[in-house]
Amino acid sequence: MKDLIGIKELSRAQIEEILNTAKAFKEVLQRDIKKVPTLRGKTAINLFFEPSTRTRTSFELAEKRLSLDVLNFSVPTSAVVKGETLYDTLKTIEAYNVDYIVIRHSSSGAAKFIADHTEASVINAGDGINEHPTQALLDAFSILEIKGRIDGLKIAIVGDILHSRVARSNYYLLSKFDTEIRFVGPPTFLPSHPPENVKVYYRLRDGIKDADVIIMLRIQLERQKSGFIPSLKEYYHFWGLKKEDLSFVRDDAILMHPGPMNRGVEVSTEVVNDPRAIILKQVTNGIATRMAVIYLLRRS
């Protein structure tokens, strides 16, 4: 594989290879000297056409830990604001002979478009409502690290599944394992024809009961017109995971959120602070997982 565009295209064996490699890199990141010379002399560029905190910073750290030379492309101060197209931006960057392009874009298919028009390895850091493959990989890594397995788990994905590229990539990944996948949310936030291997729940407590893993999602207001929910206050009342819901969560369950969180919308501060929440562990694991992806693309 030259590129990582989506989880859909990966086999279970490829996912397991990435997760095993991430485990080795996590050990490197716990040493005093966290950097390896593996990709010295290679260059990566991070092209973020949409805002990001976690994905952009952890890709940059992953690249630096692998000894890559790193360029961060700032869209608001670039010629994109003068009307330069995605294609011409790509050709300009390509002229620097870069080896890796990490791209986030609001259009589904933008990462594939870039990959089809460059010799560099392209990694999708989120394209529209399509996929966010490295988020699903770091989520799987985090589940594996804590639960010791993915097979046999009941995993509830709660919230705005319809507009979430994180939910889509997680669904593709979990479907390659022997998991029970639950979609939990109001009907307007769930696909009208859910996949056959998914159990659908319209009531929060029914959906989270007995789950081993609960993944809460942000409402993707930037990707939807109004009218999906009456109000954020009502959403929080019925669908937000709150202190009073925690007694319905298994003692050994893990609570996850890809971030950014909207406290008081999909999750309460008590939930974020609950010992079962691993939200910042997910952030930490983003570095090792992204190092693994970059490293393995180079080798294949």
Give me the least distance between CB of 40 and ligand CP, in Å please: 27
**Tokens 């197209």 belong to which residue?**
85
Distance of alpha carbon 76 from alpha carbon 152, whole angstroms: 46
Alpha-carbon gap, residue 11 to 75, rounded angstroms: 34
Give the CA angle between residues 251, 264, 105 to the nearest 5°: 100
**What is the enclosing helix (H) or strand (E) of 55?**
helix 54-65
How many residues does this entry show for the chain?
Answer: 300
Contacts to ligand CP by CB under 6 A: 52-55, 126, 132, 135, 258-260
Residue 140 vs 201, nearer CB to ligand CP? 140
Neighbours of 105 (CB within 10 A): 22
> Minimum CB separation from ligand CP for residue 58, in Å?
8
Answer positive or negative: Cα dihedral of 45, 48, 54, 55.
negative
Task: Report the nearest approach of ligand CP to the CB of residue 231 (Å).
Answer: 24
User: At closest approach, how far in Å is the CB of 247 from ligand CP?
Assistant: 28
Q: Tokens 């859909």 appear where?
A: 8
Q: Which two tokens stand for residue 187?
A: 């009907």
Nearer to ligand CP, 53 or 106 (CB): 53
Question: CB-wise, 89 or 170, nearer to ligand CP?
Answer: 170
Least distance from C-beta 52 to ligand CP, angstroms? 3
Q: Which residue is listed with tokens 């990707």?
A: 223
| Residues recognised as catalytic | 54-55, 82, 104, 132
Q: Which is nearer to ligand CP, 191 or 259 (by Cβ)?
A: 259
Closer residue to ligand CP, CB minimum distance, 207 or 258:
258
DSSP code for 130? T
